[in-house]
Amino acid sequence: MALLLLCSVAAAQQSEISASQPLIDKAKAFVSLLAQGNFAAATADFDSTMKAVMPAEKLNETWKTVTAQVGQFREQAGVRTEKMAQYDIVYVGSIFEQANLDIKVVFDSASKIAGLFIVPSKPPVEFSSASYVNPKAFRKSDITVGSSEWALPGTLTMPWGVELAPVVVLVHGSGPNDRDESLGPNKPFRDLAEGLSSKGIAVLRYDKRTYKYGQKMASMVNGLTVKEETIDDALAAVEQLRQTPGIDSNRIYVLGHSLGAMLVPRIAKGDSMIAGFIAMAGITRPLEDVLIDQFSYIYSLGSITPEQKAHLDTLRVQAAKVKSAGLTVKTPTSQLPLDVPAKYWIDLKGYKPAEMAKEIARPMLIMQGGRDYQVTEVDFNGWKNALSGRNDVEFKFYPAANHLFIDGQGKITPDDYEVAGHVSEAVINDIADWVNKH
C-alpha cells in the first residue's frame, strides 16, 4: 500500500535520544486531535512552513485519504523517539482498522511541528558492530570532555598493545548528535571508532553540546554560532587528550563529518599543534545555497507540488537575505532559512572553508561519497581546486557511498538512512593507512 507522505524536513544528521516528555505529550495530543477531526486545533502548533503547506483544510483532506486506505483510527499504541538534526521526532503508534501505522511528528527547537509523516510501524533495529571490527583489539572507557557547565560524556576506544597510540577526535555534523552520530539504525561514528581502534588507532567520540544540553542551548539560540555549537568542544577534546595516558600527544588528529568537516579550517586555526585533519563530506559552498539544493533534490524525487515550489521560493528569498547587506542581528528568524537566528548566519557569512584550508600547513585527507545528495561532488571539487598540488593533502572518492559513507545502489533518497548498514571498510582502511603514514 502506498502511504501518503504529509510533509518532510530535509536534515543532515540524526541521533537517537528520547525526546522530552512534554514533546511526547504534545505529539500524542496532536494525534488525538487528528482522530477527533479537530484540524484547526491540530495546526495550531505548526511552524510557519507547515502552516503554509498544510493548512487545516488540506490536513483534513489528507487524513480522509489515509483513513480511506487503512480504515478508521481506533487507538494509540506506544511511542518511540529520535533526533534528526535540530529536530525532535516522536513516532506515535496508531492502530487503524486495517493497519498499524506510526504517525511521525517532527518538532523544531521551538517545539513547533515542523514535519509530519505517516509511515509503517516497525520495531527498533538492534545495532551490531561491523564485520571488520575486532572487539578483542581494543578497550572502551567512559570519558568526560570539558568541564563545568558544558561537560560532555564520551567514549574513548584504546587499542591493546600500543604503548602510545595515535588518536582521532570525531567532530559531528549539524544538529544535536550523540557520540555515535546515530541516524536511524546506523551509527557511523561508532563504526569509525571501533574500526580504527581495531587497527591500532585510538578514537574519542562524545555527545554534542546541543545534544547533552538541548534545552539550555535553545534558550541561548539567538546568540549561538558554530563556535559554541561545535568548535569549542572539539578543541577542548584535543587539549584533554594531550594529558591522557597512553596517547601520543604529537599524533592527535581531528576528523570532521559534514558540518564538522566544513569547520576543519576553523578548528585548525584554534590549535596549531593538531597533527592533521580529515574532512568527510564537507561543504565548500555557502550553507544557505546547499540547503536550497538539498530541498530541491528531495522534492525532485516526486512530482513537485505547488506547496513545495512555494517553499523553495521562500527558501530562495531567505537565502538572499542571508547574503544581503541588510542582514543584521535584528533580522527576524522568520526571514532566514530554517528559522535559524541571524547571528548564526552572520558568523558564517563569507566563510570559504576550502580557501581557508590553504592556511593549514598540516596533512589533510578529504573524503567524499558519490551517492551523497546533501554534500555533493561540487563541494569535493571545491576542496580539490583549492588544495591540489599539495603533497600533504590526499583526496578519496567513494562512488557507492552515501552521506554516512555507507555503500548502496541506485538513486539516493532519504529512505536510504533507514536501511541498516556500516561505514565502508574501504573508508576505515584509508583513514587508518593515512594516520599510520603521519
Known catalytic residues? 258, 372, 403
Alpha-carbon radius of gyration of the chain: 22
Q: How far is residue 99 from each of residues 7, 16, 18, 410, measured CA to CA in Å?
A: 21, 26, 26, 29
Phi, psi at residue 385, to the nearest 5°? -65, -35
Query: How many Cα atoms sit within 13 Å of 27 on the Cβ side?
Result: 31
HEC assignment per residue over 108-154: CCCCCEEEEEEEECCCCCCCCCCCCCCHHHEEEEEEEECCHHHCEEE
Closest CA to 253 of 210, 209, 207, 196: 196
Rounded CA gap, 334 and 407, in Å?
Answer: 37
At residue 300, the 3 state secondary structure works out as: helix
Q: Name, in order, each residue with C-beta under 8 angstroms of 349's C-beta and a sequence gap of 6 or more.
A: 322, 323, 327
CB-based contact 259:12 (threshold 8 Å): yes
Q: What does the longest C-alpha to C-alpha distance in the chain come to?
A: 67
Rounded CA gap, 165 and 192, in Å?
Answer: 16
Rounded CA gap, 280 and 404, in Å?
Answer: 9
- Which residues are registered as beta bridge partners of 7? 116
Rounded CA gap, 434 and 438, in Å?
Answer: 7
